[in-house]
Amino acid sequence: MEHSRGIWTSTADVDLLLRLAGTGFDWLALDAQHGPVDRAVLHAAGRALAGVHAPFLVRVPAVDPAWIGAALDAGAAGVVVPSVTGVADAERAALASRYPPLGERSWGPFPPLWGGKASDPEVANELVRCWVMVETPGALDDVEAIAATPGVDGLFVGPLDLALSLGTSVDALLDDHDPQGPLARVVAAAERQGILVGAFAGSPTAARRLRAHGIGFLAVTTDSALLTAGVRAVLEDDDA
């Protein structure tokens, strides 16, 4: 099980992203589905984060080849693809993430626009990571086929939407350790194919509960939660 701690961000503030990238998290994710990240922000963030140690991922708005390509063109190490309803969506996401002959990604990296260097297609294909979200009943039903899809590098659980779509709560989902339970099925499918499995936790407490299921690639907090925790720590400090 890969043990990796990331931070989920919903900001268009490039300076804040740059600061967060240097705080010690293994990676950060830019949320273009539920955050104010557009093409202009992708360009600015890619330029700012090009030289930092922590790689960044982009959760794109949908199974959209144009958005997947733009996120990778900006320098993202990978994409997290939401709204997957079955194996056909996973195949589309995988093909959009890699250049021919492995996929259908169009050539157009951003780094040359700011004087940087673009990886050649073969290297880019080797390094990119396509994470397919499992957050719908259809994706859960097809999880074995999705995990076996060429070009899918990891399954990424969205606990909130998965719980909503299954008519349950996040707590009930995380408490379900039945070998045939939703999380166990996702982890087992990933393990059978030798690919990674990750999830959005949002808090250290939820991260520990997800790790108990064998999920180690986790967004352990968010930019807003980190800000709130910092403010509380300052206000509760008797010496402040």
- Report the catalytic residues: 34
Structure-block tokens of residue 208: 């520990």
* Residue extents of the structural domains in the chain: 4-235
Block means of pLDDT (10 residues each) for the chain, length 240 residues? 88 96 96 96 95 95 98 97 98 98 97 91 97 98 98 98 98 97 98 97 97 97 95 82
End-to-end CA distance of the chain: 41
Total-model pTM: 0.95
As its CATH architecture, domain 4-235 has Alpha-Beta Barrel (3.20)
